[in-house]
Amino acid sequence: MIEFKNVSKKYGRDIGLVDVSFSLEKGKIYGLIGPNGSGKSTTLKIIAGLVHFSKGTVLVDGIPVDRRIAKKVAYLSELDMFYQPFKVKDMIDFYASQFEDFRMDRANELLSFMKLDPDKKLKQLSKGNRGRLKLVLAMARDASVLLLDEPFSGLDPMVRDSIVKGLLSYIDYENQTVIIATHEIDEIEPLLDEVLAVKDGKVIDRQNVEDLRETKGLSVIQWMKETFKE
């Protein structure tokens, strides 16, 4: 489904990724875990066709990645990129006009689930509600790849768990590959099939979550602390 072959990315003198290779299967949820600046966001942006890599090959469904891959990839950025004069329903309509796989019926269900008022102006939304809207826009698409970069940032911890559990019903486990880059490990651990640890632009470890629990007796958080300890 997704394949990286010896991929490197430089930003001037700064290193984004260093000779990264991995493959991800359809129908699984992956956690991309690592400290800030480790290369998580760069990895997602490359898959989304938003950042061009310096060396290597990236394939999605066997297709070399470029900007046109957006037809297959739904991407939720950690950045807040909204048209401020718009209302919530205007952003929904805009996304529907841009992506053929955008499901208006699902968007309306998600708006209701997220308790968002379609007539509310974006500039009046709290940070948490702006985060909810980003989730609605990404998950209303029938894309084969769903990329979520810090999707729960700004959400109230009191409701975060219920939102994570509720979103499960909107993931197509048969046909989607989901990659979540996040620091909020507690809530998403039950969702994950595999985790990849990223540090200094390299994938330094990869584990099956079930094997971690049954074979090593570790939670993802425990494994993460061991993997990233100095």
Residues with Cβ within 8 Å of residue 85, at least 6 apart in sequence: 121, 122, 123
Number of domains making up the chain: 1
Q: How far apart are CA 96 and CA 104, in angstroms?
A: 7
CATH of the domain at 84: 3.40.50.300
Range of the domain at 42: 2-228
Q: How far apart are CA 193 and CA 30, in angstroms?
A: 6
Instruction: Using alpha carbons, select from 185, 183, 181 the residue that is nearest to residue 221.
Output: 185
Angle between helices 127-139 and 88-98 in degrees, nearest 10: 30
Sign of torsion, CA 207 213 215 221? positive
Q: What is the pLDDT along the chain (230 residues), one digit of tens a residue?
A: 899 999 999 998 888 999 999 999 999 999 999 988 899 999 999 999 999 999 999 999 999 999 999 999 999 998 877 778 899 999 999 999 999 999 999 999 999 999 999 999 999 999 889 999 999 999 999 999 999 999 887 787 777 888 888 888 888 888 899 999 987 787 788 889 999 999 999 999 999 999 999 999 999 999 998 998 85
